[in-house]
Amino acid sequence: MKIKVLSESLDGLAYDGLALGFFSDERPPRGYCGLADWRLNGLISKLIVEGRITGAFMEKTLVFSNHRTPSSKIFLMGLGESTQLTYEKLYAAGSTISQTLNEIECADLVFDIPCSCRCNLEVPRMTVAMISGVFDFCDREQKDITSDMIVLSDKNFFDEVVLGMHEFKVSVKDRVAVDIIDQAASVRVL
């Protein structure tokens, strides 16, 4: 399995689908979800204002970009209140993201780590929790885990996300080979 860690803008992400987390107590959404909202001319904010989505934990919503982003499908994953986020919830969210992207037949597994001072958790442990949820779903369902996984990170927390990737790699070393590619430095991190 290759895991690429990216910190680019949405305009550079030409993948079939993106899974973006958002919190129920952030208005407007922030991070990659906020960027998607901006690119979609406030569609996500409009859905929130109309009460059609709330960001409640495990709420799932699929929106289509209509060519406003290179990715055609944007899967929104509710993470609940930022102050109530736990590593267990991130694990569950990672598993649900993997399952849902598989069900909607996205060719790519691309998701963000919601970490720009939005909760009181450690970013490396947040990363391990989400990646473990994704990996365990794929392993449990015997899905192909030899494909690439793309993890999006805020530039300010990039090094911490990469640190979490290394912790994950150590934890699964006997079950699968993990090759982490740090796109910011353009070097392979083994």
- pLDDT tens for 128-183 read 999 999 988 887 776 655 467 889 998 889 899 989 988 998 888 877 667 777 66
The pLDDT of residue 190 is 41
- pLDDT tens digit string along 60-108? 999 998 888 888 899 999 999 999 999 999 999 999 999 998 888 888 8
Q: Closest by alpha carbon to 127, among 169, 185, 179?
A: 169
What's the rounded Cα separation, in Å, for the pair 169 and 131?
Answer: 10
Each domain of the chain, given as residue ranges in start order, spans 9-147
Domain 9-147 grouped into CATH 3.40.220.10: yes
pTM of the model: 0.88
Beta strands 187-189 and 17-22 are: unpaired
The pLDDT of residue 173 is 80
